[in-house]
Amino acid sequence: LVFENSTKASKEVAKEIADLIKVKQAQKQPCILGLATGSSPKGLYAELVRLHKEENLSFKNVIAFNLDEYYPMEPDSMNSYVRFMKEQLFDHIDILPENYHVPDGLLTKAAIADYCDQYEAKIEALGGLDLQILGIGGNGHIGFNESGSLQNSKTRLVALDHITRVAASGDFSGLENTPRTAITLGVKKIMEAKRVILMAWGEGKSNIIKASAEGEVTSRVPASFLQEHNNATFILDQAAASKL
Ligand code: GLP
C-alpha cells in the first residue's frame, strides 16, 4: 500500500493496531504485538500515544515482544532498544511493565541460547504474535536477521553486517563504538505472526523494497521471505515505492 507520506501511512497502521486491540479487549483476550525499533515506526508510536491520550485507547491487554537488541547493551544506555521503546511508546501508555519484552543485552554469552529459546516459548505459549511490525534495513534485514538468515532461523545471537554497523555508527559516535552483535527474533517467528506490516519511507529504501517485494525470494534479502506470508503488507510512502 502506497501513501502520500509517512504520517498518513503511520496513522493507518496505528488504526489497524487500535482496532485489533479493541477486538481482543471485547473478546477478553490479550493482544500479542511484535514491535520494531529504528526511525520507521516512530510516527506509528507517536500516533498510538495520541490515541491513548486523546481517545482513551488502553494497552492493558497488550503483551509486546520487541524484535531485537544490540549485544552487549545496558538497558538504560543511550542507544539501547529498551530505552528507545520506553521513550517512544511504553512510558506514555498504560501497558503493564511486566507485559513488554525486549531481548536482554546483559546476558552472559553462555546464557543466550537458553534465553532465546525461552523468548520464543513465551510467544508460543500466548498463541503466537497477532501482529508483527517491521522496518527494513538497507540490505533487506528484518529485525537483525541479516543477509544469509534462513527462513526457519531461530531467535539467536547474530553478527551485524558491516553495512548495518555503518548505518548505526552515527548513533554510537563512530564505527569502533558500534556493537558487532545483536540478539534478534528469528525469521521463523516473524513468518508465524498472523499479520505482518513492514513500513518503509524515503527514496533510500526504494531499491531494497523493489528487491524484497518483486525480486527473488532469497536469504540474501530476508525481507523477500514475506512474499510467502499469507497476510503481510508493505506500507510505503511514494518515495519508497518509486522503483516498484
Ligand atoms: C535496525 C533495526 C531494524 C530496523 C532497521 C531500519 O537495524 N534493528 O529492526 O528495521 O534498523 O531502521 P530505520 O527504520 O531507521 O531505517
Q: Which parts of the chain register pLDDT below 70?
A: none
Q: What is the pLDDT of residue 92?
A: 98
Residue nearest to atom 11 of ligand 1 (CA): 38
Q: Is residue 46 part of a domain?
A: yes
Give CA–CA dist 178/228, Å, rounded.
Answer: 33
CA torsion through residues 84, 85, 91, 97, sign: negative
Q: What is the pLDDT of residue 230?
A: 98
Give CA–CA dist 34/44, Å, rounded.
Answer: 13
At 176, the amino acid letter reads: E
Q: What is the pLDDT of residue 109?
A: 97
Q: Is residue 9 part of a domain?
A: yes
Residue 134 belongs to domain with CATH number: 3.40.50.1360
Q: Is residue 33 part of a domain?
A: yes
Residue nearest to atom 1 of ligand 1 (CA): 38
Q: How far is CA 140 from CA 12, 67, 121, 194, 219, in A?
A: 23, 15, 26, 21, 9
Residue 76 near residue 105 (C-beta atoms within 8 A)? no
Give residues (CB < 6 A) around ligand 1.
36-40, 67-68, 135-137, 143-144, 164
Q: Do β-strands 131-134 and 196-200 pair in parallel, antiparallel, or remain unpaired?
A: parallel
Q: What is the pLDDT of residue 85?
A: 98
> What distance in angstroms lies between residue 40's CA and the mean position of ligand 1's atoms?
7
Q: What is the pLDDT of residue 7?
A: 98
Q: Is residue 159 part of a domain?
A: yes
Q: What is the pLDDT of residue 124?
A: 98
Q: Do β-strands 196-200 and 100-101 pair in parallel, antiparallel, or remain unpaired?
A: unpaired
Total number of residues shown for the chain: 244
Task: Give the end-to-end CA distance of the chain in Å, rounded to a whole number.
Answer: 11
Q: Is residue 243 part of a domain?
A: no
Print the domain residue range for 94. 2-237
Q: Per-residue DSSP letters for 82-125?
A: HHHHHHHTGGGS---GGGEE---TT--HHHHHHHHHHHHHHHHH
For 43: left if phi > 0, alpha if psi spans -120 to 50, otherwise beta; the answer is: alpha
Given the residues 87, 146, 192, 228, select the one marked as catalytic. 146
Give CA–CA dist 244/229, Å, rounded.
Answer: 19
Q: What is the pLDDT of residue 211?
A: 98
* Residue 154: exposure state from Cβ atoms within 10 A (0-12, 13-18, ≥19): middle
Q: What is the pLDDT of residue 8?
A: 98
Which of 174, 167, 169, 170 has the alpha carbon at shortest distance from 208? 167
Q: What is the pLDDT of residue 194?
A: 98
Q: What is the pLDDT of residue 188?
A: 98
Q: Structural domain tally of the chain?
A: 1
Q: 241-244: long-range contacts (C-beta < 8 A, 24 or more apart)?
A: 241/2, 241/206, 241/209, 242/203, 242/206, 243/206, 243/207, 243/209, 243/210, 244/209, 244/210, 244/213, 244/214
Is 16 known to be catalytic? no
Q: Is residue 66 part of a domain?
A: yes
Give CA–CA dist 70/182, Å, rounded.
Answer: 4
Q: Is residue 244 part of a domain?
A: no
The number of C-alpha atoms within 13 Å of 69 and in the hemisphere containing its C-beta is 26
Q: Is residue 242 part of a domain?
A: no
